[in-house]
């Protein structure tokens, strides 16, 4: 049993583990991109760009711990990224999501839930 499969001994534990990994990846990608954004768009110090690059590199590592296939991980993460981007804008830029943002998030989360968590005979997760 691999280290990743070990995290998925129970279905509930596996779902919690994968959701936490998606959130961590989102924080790294959006946070790293935001740091680069601040450097370029708001003329912050080069240290913002360097830190942003490091954080973006970490984002690239996190999905490798997901217990599924690359295409499903990244398709699902794309949906999670949309939701987290809107939440990021709300928290950091003080722009709350509107009704259509919320409807879109519900549709996206439903879709990624089906893509990633729908039971298949060929996988454990």
- The number of folded domains in the chain is 1
Mean pLDDT of 43-58: 98
Whether residue 125 is contained in a domain is answered as no
Q: How far apart are CA 43 and CA 119, in angstroms?
A: 48
Q: Give percent of the chain above pLDDT 70.
A: 90
Whether residue 58 is contained in a domain is answered as yes
Whether residue 124 is contained in a domain is answered as no
Whether residue 101 is contained in a domain is answered as yes
Chain mean pLDDT for the chain: 91
Mean pLDDT of 56-73: 95
Which pLDDT belongs to residue 125?
46
Which pLDDT belongs to residue 1?
39
Q: Is the pLDDT higher at 11 or at 85?
A: 85
Q: How far apart are CA 80 and CA 106, in angstroms?
A: 11
Which pLDDT belongs to residue 57?
98
Which pLDDT belongs to residue 120?
82
Whether residue 57 is contained in a domain is answered as yes
Mean pLDDT of 93-113: 97
Could you tell me the pLDDT band of residue 7, with boundaries at 50, 70 and 90? low
Whether residue 90 is contained in a domain is answered as yes
Whether residue 123 is contained in a domain is answered as no
| 17 pLDDT above the threshold of 50 | yes
Domain carrying residue 11: 3-117
Which pLDDT belongs to residue 12?
87
Whether residue 94 is contained in a domain is answered as yes
Q: How far apart are CA 43 and CA 96, in angstroms?
A: 25
- Is residue 76 exposed (0-12), middle (13-18) or buried (19+ Cβ within 10 Å)? buried
């Amino acid at each position: 049993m691999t280290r990743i499969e070990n995290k998925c001994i129970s279905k509930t534990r596996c779902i919690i583990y994968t959701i936490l990994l998606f959130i961590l990846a989102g924080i790294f990608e959006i946070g790293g991109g935001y740091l680069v954004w601040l450097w370029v768009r708001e003329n912050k110090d080069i240290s913002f760009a360097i830190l942003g690059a490091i954080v973006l590199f970490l984002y690239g590592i996190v999905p490798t711990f997901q217990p599924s296939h690359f295409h499903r991980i990244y398709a699902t993460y794309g949906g999670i990224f949309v939701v987290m981007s809107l939440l990021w804008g709300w928290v950091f830029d003080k722009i709350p999501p509107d009704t259509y943002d919320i409807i879109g998030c519900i549709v996206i989360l439903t879709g990624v839930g089906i893509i990633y968590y729908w039971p298949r005979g060929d996988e454990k997760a």
